[in-house]
Structure 1
Amino acid sequence: MAIAMNLAWSELTPELYDAARSRVGWEEDVPDGLVLHAAWFADDGFHALDIWESEDHFTRFIADRIAPVIKGELGVQSDPHVSISPLHRRFVVPGVTGGA
């Protein structure tokens, strides 16, 4: 079942996010099951909204590719706050493609 994953991580800075993105390379080597990733920064830190084909896909990506970089190489100590909900509906606006 497809899921919506909402993540908040106060310790993650723009520099750490960009370093992780570069090292993990999820835009070039797209994780199995990832449908959409949107990320932003607010006064309380990093936020992301992902759509995944299943919670298992998300869990494997975190364990296999994200955690070794964020926790290992980059030394982030805290854990994010993650909430996962079943996806009820997905609508992609016609003509919207690619990353920005």
Structure 2
Amino acid sequence: MAFMAKLNEPHITRDMYEQVRAEIGWDQNPPAGCVLHMASFDEAGAHTVDIWDNEEDLKEYLEDRFFPALRKLGVSTVNPTWSEMHVCAAAPEIQRYVLDATPLRSRG
């Protein structure tokens, strides 16, 4: 069953987000089970939404990669929330926003 994870953090800046993303190695090695990751920033801070194949992959990513990266970079603790996904709908035009983050294991 798919899960949607959300994070809304006023203390996370765009620069901090990019540092954490680089530390995790998201582009070179996307986390197993993460189907979609979106991030935005405004005067209220960082906002992310992820879609995960299952809760186990999400929890493993948080404990093994995300939280350690935050600690290493000295970023304050964050409090993601997640719940079972009810529906996800995307138009074909979504492709224009998708970055090439194909896992190395699938590139051949």
Pick the TM interval, shorter chain: 0.7 to 0.9
1:95: how far off?
A: 5.0
Match of 1:87 in 2: 85
Give me the CA root mean square deviation. Answer: 1.7
Give 2:21's aligned amino acid: R
| Structure 2 SS opposite 1:4 | strand
Unaligned segments of structure 2, at least 5 residues: 101-108
Match of 1:5 in 2: 5
| Structure 2 SS opposite 1:29 | coil
Conservation of the 8 A alpha-carbon contact between 1:11 and 1:78: no
Match of 2:76 in 1: 77
1:57: how far off?
A: 1.0
Q: What is the CA–CA distance in structure 1 between the aligned matches of 2:44 and 2:77, rounded to whole Å? A: 14
Pick the structure with more strand per residue: 1
Cα-to-partner distance string for 1:34-56 (whole Å, 9 max, x where unaligned): 00000011212111000001121
Q: Structure 1-normalised TM-score? A: 0.85
Match of 2:94 in 1: 96
1:27: how far off?
A: 2.1
Unaligned segments of structure 1, at least 5 residues: none
In the alignment of these two chains, the number of paired residues is: 98
